[in-house]
Amino acid sequence: MELIVYEMKRLVLEGFVFGQHMANLPRDDDGNLIVRIGHSPDPDDAFMFHAMTTNAFPTPGYNFVHELQDIETLNHRAMNQELEVSAVSIHAYPDISDHYALMNCGASMGEGYGPMIVAKKGLSLEDAQASTIAVPGLKTSAYLGLRLAWGDVNVEVVPFDEIIPRILDDTYECGLIIHEGQLTYVEHDLNVLIDLGVWWNERTDGWPMPLGGNVVRRDLGQKVMEDITMYTKMSIEHSIAHPEEALEFAKAWGRGIDDETNQKFVTMYVNDRTIDYKPEGRSSIRRFLKEGQELGMIRNDFDVETLSFIGAVE
């Protein structure tokens, strides 16, 4: 009897606290909860969120507002708990894990491909490793992958879309490229010194390389986190089922790429794994972060083994 009374009190208290959180969150004129979603202005993210952005299906009780910024900015905004939902680098997740939970959908994972170090032809691997490498951010998963592969190298942070131009004008001898640069580098006759997705795939017996994920703020409460995750998954599924419209929408964020490159890039990073990480995807994330801890780049008190994913069926 005492146990039943205790459980009722706990549920009442949780409901009260949950109600307080909900009362403090903004709502639109129709009473829908306004949920701000931060994601990168890139074709794969645009494709993923196309259905939610264009209200392609009803989301009763929720009004999703999209804020587009580069991934390094989103990483830092998540550290300040500014957005209800955000795309983040897997590398950055442990720093925000007290306040955000990882969704089981929205993954960007390299299935035998990923960020690359590129340079003009003729630069040796040894000279590249001894040079100052342009990188897109110190909290990007690409940078953690680079450190795992090449160790303690000299780097300078450069906006991701300026890395190839800075190699071409000889500001840097090599750089770490992400996003559509992983396809467009060939147009500039650059040489790949290492593909980190291939490197990770080979050393993990075929696991995909973790790059980005979607997180949802814990103070929204379990039900709201699950609702938002459900709608995000529905948006991804809708775009995959109706690719023509979503690809046309995504192309606007491709910085001048053609239709073929747009489709190739989107399908690289929006696929069945984006709908569900799947067991090997979740295991790959845990290993990636564990190796980051061993390198001293991930906080030691982050419990990799108990990392959970909203919406996952383990």
In three-state secondary structure terms, 110 is: strand
| Integer Cα distance of 291 and 144 in angstroms | 9
Q: Is 239 exposed, middle or buried (0-12, 13-18, 19+ CB in 10 A)?
A: buried
Q: What share of the chain is helix, strand, coil (3-state, %, to 5)?
A: 50, 20, 30
Q: How many angstroms separate the most distant Cα atoms in the chain?
A: 78
Q: Which residues have C-beta within 8 Å of that of residue 134, sequence separation ≥ 6?
A: 155, 156, 157, 158, 163, 166, 167, 171, 172, 174, 175, 176
Strand, coil or helix: what is 242? coil
The span from the CA of 138 to the CA of 159, in Å, is: 11
Catalytic residue IDs: 179
Pairing of strands 174-177, 85-89: unpaired
